[in-house]
Chains A and B, each alone.
Chain A
Amino acid sequence: MCLAVPMKVERIEGAIAIVESAGMKMQVDISLVPEAQVGEYLIVHAGFAIEKLKPEEAEETLKLMREVLQAVEEGE
């Protein structure tokens, strides 16, 4: 039930954003994330955006994973 997917903001109309993911578009309420901007990714749950996704943090997490694993391999 807590599944929520990242969707990209295409348009904002007041407290509603039109978001898109894999070709699917929908309207979501952004009253819990009022600072949302066009082009950003939102985590959508039960018709609401509940949080923003921070792409730089996503890249950072992946980078850290790769670095740690590379260090493991080189140490072998």
Chain B
Amino acid sequence: MKYLEEFRNQELAGKLSGKIKQVAGKDKIHLMEVCGTHTMSIHKSGIKGLLPENIRLISGPGCPVCVTPNSYLDRAISLSLEEKVLITTFGDMLRVPGSTKSLEQVRARGGKVRMVYSPMDALSLAQQNPELKVVFLAVGFETTSPTIAATISEAERKKINNFLILVGHKLIPPAMKALVLDQRIGINGFICPAHVSAIIGLEPYQFLARDYKIPCVVAGFEPLDILQGILMLTEMIVSGKAEVKNEYSRVASFAGNQKAQAILEKTFEPADSEWRGLGTIPGSGYRLKAELAHRDAEKMIPVQVEPTKTHQGCKCGEVLQGLVEPPNCPLYGKVCNPEKPIGPCMVSSEGTCSAYYKYVGVAP
């Protein structure tokens, strides 16, 4: 495929690896890849094996399904059991366990849940079923939220009033700030998410370089992109510089997608938001603007939600902060695996535990 294969060239990857080893020095360097798609690509392409021993890659909280808290899932499950409500969702959310069950389990017991590929498909379902309230589970980072904002805008234009969303969107830069402030992690540089950056541009990361002296590089998802990003970060760290640089200029621009930013601004406003593992982070989520309150499933369809419970022993929260590596969780590979996941980090194919299980395996 055009513009993918070129960035998977093994010979160049080997040379980039050599160059990184040349400049890395001896001091420990901790780089966090914030995005789950980077985590997957790093494991799949064996990048960890191409780095010198002093460079450690830490997986961050960039899997939207993983950071969605139980309380959100529990509400979605309660909504699916309401009369004349149909839950629509991206496929990754189906198997994520809430406090006591998943959407998939509740569907088997009569919950009304439908998987869709695009939020526009959910809008079509609303149009075709005017007797139902169609609720879309609006999760995801800045890559995804503009697609939902555009769908809301279309629903307004076509006056499809039975389309609602349950807002669970998260914003990446405030979470990066929370991770930097947590002294236990000790991040020296960030590999910034490729497609979040395509939307928001580079400016929202500047405070990390300016105020916290943490270099940031926006990198694409292919192996050469990631290696080049690591090289750029390592060069800055070794020379004591902290800037925001862009390896992924073929898609992400400094200003980002301004059309997408405008529609986000028209639809949502920032709000405090709860992340699994990281707790409530100020300004790290969205709520619908007051004039779109009629689209807010939480306000418009009141339901009883069961008290939140977390699974004893599951270290997903610590994994999401880069504090625990999956094999150090007591459940990993023993009772928790992709077939029967206990925690969300094992459910989502982009979850750190799932990526480990697939590419590293379980120690005998």
Interface residues of A (CB under 8 A from B): 1-6, 8, 21-22, 29, 31-34, 41, 43, 45-48, 50-55, 57-58, 60-62, 65-66, 68-69, 72-73
11 other contacts beyond A29-B120, A72-B15, with CB at 8 A cut-off? Answer: A6-B3, A32-B257, A46-B144, A46-B147, A47-B118, A54-B249, A55-B250, A60-B249, A65-B228, A69-B16, A72-B19
Which residues of chain B are near A22, meaning CB under 8 Å? Answer: 1
Query: Closest residue of chain A to B62, judged by CB?
Result: A2
Instruction: State A71–B15 Cα separation when bound (angstroms).
Output: 11
Majority secondary structure of chain B interface residues (helix, strand, loop or mixed): helix
Tell me the complex Cα distance, A69–B4, Å.
Answer: 20
User: A2 vs B196: C-alpha distance in the bound complex, in angstroms?
Assistant: 8
Q: In the bound complex, do residue A4 and residue B195 qualify as a contact, i.e. CB atoms below 8 Å apart?
A: yes
Knowing A47-B147, A61-B250, say if A2 contacts B15 (CB, 8 Å): no
Check A47–B146 contact: CB distance below 8 A.
no
Query: Of all chain B residues, which has the CB nearest A8?
Result: B2
What B residues does A33 contact at CB under 8 A?
Answer: 257, 259
Return B188 CB to nearest CB of chain A, in Å.
22
Q: Which residues of B contact A50 (CB under 8 A)?
A: 143, 146-147, 195, 198-199, 257, 260
Q: How many A-B residue pairs have CB under 8 A?
A: 136
Q: How many residues of B contact A (CB 8 A)?
A: 55
CB–CB B221/A3 < 8 A: yes
Smallest CB gap from A22: residue in B: B1
Q: Chain B residues near A73 (CB, 8 Å)?
A: 15
Contact of A1 among B16, B65, B251 (CB under 8 A): B65
Contacts A45-B143, A65-B228: A51 and B249 contacting too (C-beta < 8 A)? no
B303 sits at the interface (CB 8 A): no
- Measured CA separation A22–B3 after assembly (Å): 12
Q: Please indicate the chain A residues that have their CB under 8 angstroms from the CB of B118 in the complex.
A: 29, 46-48
The 4 closest A-B pairs by CB, nearest first: A47-B118, A58-B250, A57-B250, A48-B147
B150 contacts partner chain A, Cβ-Cβ < 8 Å: yes
User: Which residue of A has the minimal Cβ distance to B248?
Assistant: A61
Report if A54-B120 is in contact (Cβ < 8 Å); known contacts: A48-B146, A72-B22.
no
Task: For A53, list chain B residues within 8 Å (CB).
Answer: 3, 250-251
CA distance A2 to B360 in the complex (A): 22
Within B1-26, the residues touching A (CB, 8 Å) are 1-4, 6-7, 12, 15-16, 18-19, 22
Q: Which B-chain residue is minimally distant from A41 (CB atoms)? A: B3
Asked if B3 contacts A55 (CB within 8 A), the reply is: yes
Is B298 an interface position by the 8 A CB rule?
no
C-alpha gap A50/B259 in the complex (Å):
10
Asked if B146 and A32 sit within 8 Å, CB to CB, the answer is: yes
CB distance from A40 to the nearest CB of B (A): 12
The residue from A4, A32, A54 contacting B259, defined by CB atoms under 8 A apart: A32
Q: Are A1 and B37 in contact (CB under 8 A)?
A: yes
**Distance in Å: Cβ of A14 to nearest Cβ of chain B:** 12
Residue B217 CB within 8 A of the other chain = no
19 contacts between A and B (CB under 8 A): A1-B141, A1-B144, A2-B144, A6-B1, A6-B2, A31-B150, A32-B260, A45-B144, A46-B117, A47-B121, A48-B120, A50-B147, A50-B198, A53-B251, A55-B250, A57-B249, A57-B250, A58-B250, A61-B247
Q: How far, in angstroms, from A61 to B2 measured CA to CA in the complex?
A: 15
CB contacts under 8 Å to A, within B205-247, are 221, 224, 228, 247
**Known contacts A32-B146, A46-B118, A50-B198, A72 near B18 by CB under 8 Å:** yes
In the bound complex, do residue B257 and residue A61 qualify as a contact, i.e. CB atoms below 8 Å apart?
no
